[in-house]
Structure 1
Amino acid sequence: MRRNAAVHLLFGLVAVLAVAGTIWAVEPVAHRPVKLAEPVEINVSAALGLKDALQEIQTEYEAANANVKLVFNLGPSGVLQKQLEQGVPADLFISASMKQINELQSKNLVVPSTRRILVNDKLVLIVPQNSQLVIESFQDLKTVTRFGMGEPATVPAGQYAMELLKGIEVWEAVKDKAVQAKDVRTIISYVETGNVDAGIAFSTVAALSDKVKVVSVAPDGSHTPVMFPAVAMANSKHPKEAAAFLDYLCGPQSAAMFQKYGFSFVGSGQ
């Protein structure tokens, strides 16, 4: 009897150990991967002349702010204005002229208290690097066959150029020689290829090309100062994040990047 009891006890212990082994052998339940929040997209409609500086600013800002993705819509300021009026999504607008922002403000499409002037630029007269023509001043446009400038209706560089030429009283004499471009970089292309004898463009954009040279800089007071203002859009879906990026654009990191590309940094409200 004692022997049978011992056998039964032994079998019982084996069974218990087997069950225990089965329990401990069960693999732990795998943790479900945590789904990271998608970055907030900040849509910025910006003047094409700022392209290179903004690309570098974007790289630095996104590296420091993993929760934000910047999406730029670059183009002529007048075209961007029309897009914004038609409801194209945007959190910020950076123009190459006050005109576009003033008009958007008159339609209650921007937040007036957020207006900032980011940078200033210069208006310059350029010719092909190998030009043999004697062109030394804006007055000399009277002697050329054709010259390039932006479309005054949509391109701020063209607005400034027309204002300048009217101010020095040569517009009537040269307006029929003007080849109007859709944006400031196209003006540079016209001059580079020799399709025009000269062009009126922003200094910072002209400096990007080694195929053109500056022969004259518009004197102070000859036209409205070239300013690149920024403002938050009234229908922004992410006003907090947009405000943070606008502050960054007005800060020292962005100042260094704008200055690298030849802009005069302002970064102040107005």
Structure 2
Amino acid sequence: MVLKKVKKYLLSLGLLLSCISLIGCYQEEKKTKLIILAAASLTEAYTDLEKGFEAKYTDIDLQFTFAGTTTLLPQIKQGLEADVFISANEAAMLELIKEGYIKEESANIFAHNQLALMVYKDTAFDVKSMEDILQEGIKVIVGEPNLPIGKYTVEMLDEIEAQGLYSENYKQLFMDHIVSLENSVKAIAIKVEMGEADVGVVYGTDFTALNNKWVHRIDIPKAYNPKATYELATLNNSKYKKIADKFIEYVLDKDGQDYLLKYGFMLPE
């Protein structure tokens, strides 16, 4: 008799746990997945922002893909399912607006960044300025010229040369030291951290508590340091435009801006 009661109790308990599990799964399935394609330089800031946003909006699951802006562009044009695009320059956003993937009124500037030199700590060279990069034997890594980080680098070199600084043909001398062109700013940082080059041109926000073990930062003078501009917008093919707009509102509001400041980004004036 006692054994029967125990079996009945265990059976009831099993059914109860199964119901609880099914309810949990059902609630999880009810979350709306918002797919966001974002510039690689936002990885740390927006991985953190994701936690804050999802704590506030418990029915939304943010799904980020971080990559170089020019890696994301063709994916959007090939019909990749996504809701929000976040670019590290205005040119990429303008291209998508012109080609009908984004409405102009949807695009918002939300942050700025600046270039910095990432120097491998164990380099054999004494690098304290842009002029020091011209030392014989220094290896430099930059972004591909079609990437925002690559375009900003070229813009910087053009301005140095226009101002007649360091050398008559500084741009070419600098480029002679380039040993690799990378497809994202994170790829530049990783290679410098591993000692595959002495110097990399990155964003100021690419320096973290972790990589300062292997690299240090050299600030680039504002006189020729271009201001990187970040924009975000809802994609026209988004299935969840209202939720995408809610995410953009969060980014533009104080909560979202505080995450950017925490990771060293500059806010629009």
User: So what's the TM-score if we normalise by structure 1?
Assistant: 0.80
The higher radius of gyration belongs to: 1
Distance 1:64 1:117 in 2: 23
**Equivalent residue number for residue 230 of structure 2:** 228
Aligned identity (percent) is 24
Task: After superposition, give the CA deviation of every residue in 1:177-207 in whole Å (9 maximum; x if it has no partner).
Answer: 2121121122112222221121110011124
1:7-156 mapped onto 2 (5 Å cutoff): 36=27, 38-143=30-135, 144-153=137-146, 155-156=147-148
Contact 1:123 1:218 in 2 (8 A): no
**Equivalent residue number for residue 217 of structure 1:** 220
Task: After superposition, give the CA deviation of every residue in 1:12-64 in whole Å (9 maximum; x if it has no partner).
Answer: xxxxxxxxxxxxxxxxxxxx988657222111100111111111111121122
Contact 2:234 2:245 in 1 (8 A): yes
Query: Offset of 1:171 from its aligned partner?
Result: 2.0
**Equivalent residue number for residue 251 of structure 2:** 249
Task: After superposition, give the CA deviation of every residue in 1:133-164 in whole Å (9 maximum; x if it has no partner).
Answer: 232222332224320111112x2111111111
Contact 2:114 2:226 in 1 (8 A): no
Q: 5+ unaligned residues in a row in structure 2: which ranges?
A: 1-18, 162-169
Runs of 4+ in structure 1 over 6 Å off = none
Contact 1:94 1:231 in 2 (8 A): yes
Contact 2:114 2:225 in 1 (8 A): no
Distance 1:104 1:212 in 2: 36
1:192 matched to 2:193? The reply is yes
Distance 1:177 1:100 in 2: 28
Letter in 1 for 2:142: M
Query: Offset of 1:79 from its aligned partner?
Result: 0.7
Query: Offset of 1:218 from its aligned partner?
Result: 4.0
Distance 2:103 2:241 in 1: 10
SS of the equivalent of 1:66 reads coil
Distance 1:236 1:73 in 2: 15
Contact 1:124 1:218 in 2 (8 A): no
Distance 1:196 1:108 in 2: 40
Query: Offset of 1:265 from its aligned partner?
Result: 2.4
Distance 2:190 2:49 in 1: 25
Distance 2:134 2:113 in 1: 25
Distance 2:237 2:153 in 1: 33
Distance 1:74 1:128 in 2: 24
Distance 1:58 1:145 in 2: 39
Letter in 2 for 1:174: F
Contact 2:107 2:233 in 1 (8 A): yes
SS of the equivalent of 1:168 reads helix
User: So what's the TM-score if we normalise by structure 2?
Assistant: 0.81
SS of the equivalent of 1:265 reads coil
Contact 2:115 2:226 in 1 (8 A): no
**Equivalent residue number for residue 175 of structure 1:** 175
Contact 2:125 2:138 in 1 (8 A): no
Letter in 2 for 1:184: V
Letter in 1 for 2:145: P
Q: 5+ unaligned residues in a row in structure 1: which ranges?
A: 1-31
Q: Size of the alignment, in residue pairs?
A: 235
Contact 1:122 1:218 in 2 (8 A): no
